[in-house]
A and B are shown apart, each in its own frame.
Chain A
Amino acid sequence: MTGLLQDVIEPGFFSSEPVHVALVVGAVVALVSAVVGVFTVLRGQSFAGHALGDVGTTGGSGAFLVGVNPLWGFVTAAVVGAGIMELFGIRRQRGRDLATGIVLGGALGVAALFLYLDSNSVNTTGATFTVLFGSIFAINQSTVAVVVLMSLLALVTIGVLYRPLLLSSLNVDMACARGVPVRTLGGLYLLAMAVAVSLSCITIGAILSTALLIGPAAGALRLTKRPGLAMAWAALIGVASTWLGILLAYDSYYWPPVHRGWPVSFFVVTLIFLVYLVADISSERRGRQLSRQRSGRSTAARRDTPRNSNQPHSAVGGR
């Protein structure tokens, strides 16, 4: 039994300090990302959720340049980026994604400049790589407390805004009619997301940040339609994938082909994606079953309504 356990879990996994930090920070980030992520997916702001991390990279590389703790560069840049996106103030998703793209493009250009200056002036060989990909095993101990604290702040913001935010995410018109300040809420939400995303970005890298924000939430929303339950599911999926990914990455140190370990981000992303695929396909099958049952019950009704017939709508556009 112990032999089997040792095959699954390499010796030293539970006594290693970096692993402890990775497990704790990974769980916190996965939890916050899951809660924020459900709103992100519902509101259709996945692009902003991904872009703010990259915008944070610009601040991170700028902070490298002037010698400030990159953490503050990340958060500042992401918050400023979110502010500019909000300033464009476009409600429709198409235009909003475009504004996000412009902010992202500009920020990436500046990041290219900063990184170029970084690698010219100071010899920071790994700077490019670290900022872009991050590593959950190389978390700076001193920043852990700040990361956890600010993540909780983002979480509390979402918690306070929960009901009006949910209403304005699902149905803008009804929220307006109810007197919910939709624009302010959207801005506050974007700020909370900027803080959460930039923090997760600097601790676990841009790839994992987006993966944990969108993947578990999208999977959970395929499993259930209820937002509260979806958040619980998303948190479960996120934390489980992160921990299992960390374990696998730790084990992979002796795996071929290079014997220096496979990246954590690969494992976590793959796990999240597999969970999503299972949720997606099972929900599609369930949906088909439901509609078959429903159509079985109302065959007579269906014959009368042209909407359910399989005829193409040729009459509408044929001239």
Chain B
Amino acid sequence: MFSGFMVNTWLVATMVAVIAGVVGTFAVLRGSAFVAHAVPQAGFAGAAGASLVGLSTVWGLAVFAVMSALGIGWLSRRGRHDAMTALGLVVMLGLGALFLSFSNEYEPAIFGLLFGEVLGISNNDVLVTAVLGVLCVTAIAVLYRPLLLSSVLPEIGEARGVDSRTMKVCFLVVVALATTMTLPIVGALLMFSLMIGPAGAARSFTRRPLPALGLSVCLAVATVWIAIAAAYEWNWPIGFFVGGLGAVFYIAGRCWARSREARVSRLAAAT
């Protein structure tokens, strides 16, 4: 399990999990679960397009992910963010359907892009992922305070001179970057679970942002490690384990939060 070709898998998967944990925390905080779902799927369309014209799929992914992020940002300039995300998503998927109908790509290649392929990762992939990953984490680190403020209290952020629209666009571009690096590995559909599940669970366990960020990263890494080990052992698709574990962590978090609430209210009633 830890020899030869699996080394790169472990390396890349860990990096992916760290990024998903960091970006996911903000996605959950901002209530942007839908964006975290839409942008990877748009990237999938881009990958299909790139393979059609014979480019590397990473470029198609990057271009389409960033394009959809900026497009959603522009469309929702007058509110209805969720509906605009849906609109951006279907436009991209419509293009993806067009590209797929043009290409003669064999089906498993598409299946791999949707559900991920963690085996057979080259050294070059590791390098690209590492570079994009460092870029993502740096961007989040630089933006950390204003992004946090404008995510939690947009009005106060505005008053302090943090433009919430600029922050939104910045955040969307970071999601797009994160998508580009993670999509070929965990797939368009499950990149999303990895961003939302651990981060959502972490938020139920603690309300403070920095511990939540740390916990989210830990849970994401744990999810990915368990998923890879289980997929290796039973040969079931990794996406199943990632999605399932995300849901399990979240439900555990909710139960914990609820029992704590009950305890607090009991204490309050006793005193």
Contacts and interface: CB of A to CB of B under 8 A. Distances in A.
B161 to A, nearest CB: 7
Interface residues of B, number: 58
B210 to A, nearest CB: 20
A109 B107 contact: no
A1 interface: no
Contacts of A91: none
Q: Is the interface of A mostly helix, strand, loop or mixed?
A: helix
Contacts of B158: 313
B189 A41 contact: no
Nearest to A103: B247
Contact of A47 (B34, B80, B244, B251): B34
A106 B246 contact: yes
Interface stretch (B9-17, B94-102, B131-139): B94-102
Given A106-B247, A108-B243, A317-B160, A273 B91 contact: yes
B240 A109 contact: yes
Contacts of B31: 93-95, 97-98
Nearest to B93: A207
Given A112-B190, A258-B102, A102 B200 contact: yes
Interface string B74-93: 01001010111111011101
Contacts of B192: 101, 104-105, 108
Given A102-B246, A211-B90, A316 B159 contact: yes
B239 interface: yes
Interface residues of A, number: 70
A133 B97 contact: yes
Given A108-B189, A109-B241, 13 more contacts: A44-B80, A46-B83, A97-B31, A101-B34, A101-B196, A106-B247, A109-B242, A109-B244, A110-B244, A112-B115, A266-B98, A269-B91, A317-B160
25 contacts: A46-B86, A93-B82, A97-B32, A97-B82, A100-B34, A105-B247, A107-B243, A109-B190, A109-B246, A110-B243, A112-B239, A113-B236, A113-B237, A116-B236, A116-B237, A116-B240, A126-B107, A214-B83, A257-B102, A266-B95, A266-B97, A270-B91, A280-B75, A317-B156, A317-B159
Interface of A: 40-41, 44-47, 49-51, 88, 93-95, 97-98, 100-113, 115-116, 119, 125-126, 128-129, 132-133, 206-208, 210-211, 213-215, 217-218, 221, 257-258, 260-263, 265-266, 268-270, 272-273, 276, 280, 284, 312-314, 316-317
Interface of B: 28, 30-34, 36-37, 75, 78, 80, 82-87, 89-91, 93-95, 97-98, 100-102, 107, 110-111, 114-115, 156, 158-161, 189-190, 192-193, 196-197, 200, 236-237, 239-244, 246-247, 250-251, 254
